[in-house]
Structure formats: C-alpha cells, structure tokens
C-alpha cells in the first residue's frame, strides 16, 4: 500500500484545482492497487506460492516466484524483476519528496525545529532529507540490509496513519456538517475500523519480529515533538512584549567605516556614516613594514584630514 500517502502529503504540488486533481490521482492509484492485489492473491493461490523466510539461501520474493511460475526463468522474467526494481526505486523517491515537505508542515506548527521549514541551496527542504538519509541508513545497518524485516515497522506505521487519518475525517465531517456529512462519516468510520483491526492484528502477530520497535518509537517521537513545542512556546512567552516601543534616550551607535584609500566612494561612505552617528571610527589596514613617511598610511591620513567634512557646531 506504499505510495497512497504520497498524494495526501503532496497536495500542494498538484496543479489547480488541487483538490480535484489529487482526488483523481488517488482514485487511479487505489484502482491499480486493488487490481494488483487481487491478481497477486489469485495467482499465489493458483500456483500454491507463499512467502519464504528472508535472509536464507535461495530466498525469493512472492513476485519473483509468481513470475517464474507463469513465464519461467527467461528474458521476460528478468525484464519483469527489473521493472519491479524500478518501480520500487520511484516509490522510495516519493519519501525524499514528501517526507521533507511533511517535516516542513510539522515544523511550521512548532513540533519540529524551525530549520526544517527552510529550503536549502537546491531549493529543497535539506534538513528533512538529511534526517531521512540518516534514519534510513541506520535502519538498514541495524537490520543488515534485509528489507523484509522492516515490513512490520512499516505496516504498523502505515496502518496507524490510515486509522488516524480516517478517524480524523470522521471528526472533520461531524464538525463541518453538510449534505453528505453522514455518508462521509460512515465511509471514513468503516475505513478507520477496518484499518484499526488490521493494526491490532499486526501488532499482536508481528510484535516479536520488530513491531515492538514502532510501538515504542511512536510514543517516543510524540514525547520529543511535544517537548519541542513546549520549548518554542516557552521562548515565545519569554520574548513576548505587550507595551509599545520606548524611543527615548536611545544612544547613538558606534559606526566603523572600513576604508582602503581616500576617494569619492570613501567620501560617500563617510558622509553616510555621519548621517547615522557622530561616533565614527575609520579603519584602515596596511601590510606590516610599510609605516614609513611615504607609506600609504601617511598619504591616506593627510588626504583624509584635508578632505574630511566639518562636524556641525
């Protein structure tokens, strides 16, 4: 069921009308998904094909076994497996496109550090990509590159997201109302119940196979994000100012004017500095050993003294 959530995360990337375009895209994806799942289930039962233990010699995925049973081990089989690899690569790319965008939305609400909101040099949300790369690499190292062991983690997170989103849509329809509110509440409520039951089954059956990691990780992430939000709220409360600005007794700033030599540009810089403050320091740097009578410093000092503007009063 991977890829379905990419539509909801990337609604802002669709062309106008965004809602209708996203709905159409999601409908097409769901239709393809139903067709593929039904076909795989039928063929797996017809050829008596089942999953094999991962990480052992001779391991094959269900799709590899189905392809070999239907067409044999020939050129078409390798084309099919290569196509599946390409599709999985594109599916993985959706995470790098949508996860940083999702982190941006969470950061704008104050539940992730604010740097997740900003685009990097390549006009992408770099911090979200960095976080995704580090987490993905860490999981692959821990599970020794056997992706089948990551399925329980993914299944718990995916079905939990499905359940929460469906339940959220029920509350949204109840709050907003409308002509089709009851129908929407029934459909979304049925979906939330179905995915919730599936989530419970996955947690119980796959708990010792890695589902316990997600069961502990999700509450930990919620606690960390709540702590980040409380931190930003505390800072916002500490720097809040209700009184108007006090503009009395403001001291004149110290203005430092770097100057290489006396010229029209230097004169304009000095005049601009005088417009800001009367406490001005002119900074001129020369190489060591050139402080003689004919050095740039002596000529610079004499020229500047003759050309400097008079101070008022």
pLDDT the model gives residue 273: 92
pTM of the model: 0.61
Question: Which pLDDT value is given to residue 307?
Answer: 40
Q: Which of 229, 101, 85, 211 is nearest to 149 (CA)?
A: 211
* pLDDT at residue 294, as a whole number: 52
pLDDT in tens, 25-52: 888 888 988 998 899 999 999 998 888 8
User: Over the stretch 107-160, which tens digit does the pLDDT of each residue have?
Assistant: 999 999 999 998 888 778 889 989 989 988 888 888 887 777 788 888 888 888
**Residues of the chain scoring pLDDT < 50:** 303-313
How high is the pLDDT of residue 168? 92
**CA–CA distance, 41 with 34 (Å, rounded to integer):** 11
Per-residue pLDDT, 295: 52
């Amino acid at each position: 069921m991977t890829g379905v959530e990419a539509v909801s995360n990337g609604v802002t990337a669709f062309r106008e009308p965004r809602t209708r375009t996203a709905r159409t895209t999601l409908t097409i994806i769901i239709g393809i998904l139903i067709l593929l799942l039904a076909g795989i289930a039928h063929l797996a039962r017809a050829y008596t094909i089942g999953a094999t233990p991962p990480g052992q010699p001779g391991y094959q995925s269900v799709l590899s076994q189905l392809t070999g049973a239907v067409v044999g081990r020939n050129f078409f089989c390798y084309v099919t497996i290569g196509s599946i690899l390409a599709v999985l690569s594109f599916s993985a790319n959706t995470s790098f496109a949508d996860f940083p965008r999702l982190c941006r939305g969470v950061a704008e609400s104050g539940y992730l550090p604010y740097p997740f909101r900003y685009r990097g040099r390549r006009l992408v949300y770099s911090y979200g990509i960095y976080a995704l790369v580090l987490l993905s690499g860490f999981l692959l190292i821990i599970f020794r590159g056997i992706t089948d062991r990551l399925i329980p983690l993914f299944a718990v997170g995916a079905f939990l997201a499905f359940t929460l989103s469906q339940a959220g849509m029920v509350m949204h329809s109840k709050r907003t109302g409308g002509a089709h509110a009851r129908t929407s509440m029934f459909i979304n409520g049925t979906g939330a119940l179905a995915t919730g039951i599936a989530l419970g089954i996955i947690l119980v059956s796959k708990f010792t196979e890695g589902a316990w990691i997600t069961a502990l990780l999700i509450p930990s992430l919620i606690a960390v994000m709540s702590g980040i939000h409380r931190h930003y709220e505390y800072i916002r409360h500490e720097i809040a100012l209700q009184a108007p600005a006090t503009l009395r007794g403001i001291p004149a700033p110290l203005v430092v004017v770097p100057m290489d030599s006396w010229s029209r540009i230097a004169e304009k810089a000095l005049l601009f500095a005088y417009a800001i403050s009367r406490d001005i320091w002119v900074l001129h740097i020369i190489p060591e050993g050139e402080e003689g009578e004919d050095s740039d410093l002596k000529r610079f000092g004499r020229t500047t003294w003759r050309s400097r503007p008079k101070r008022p009063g």
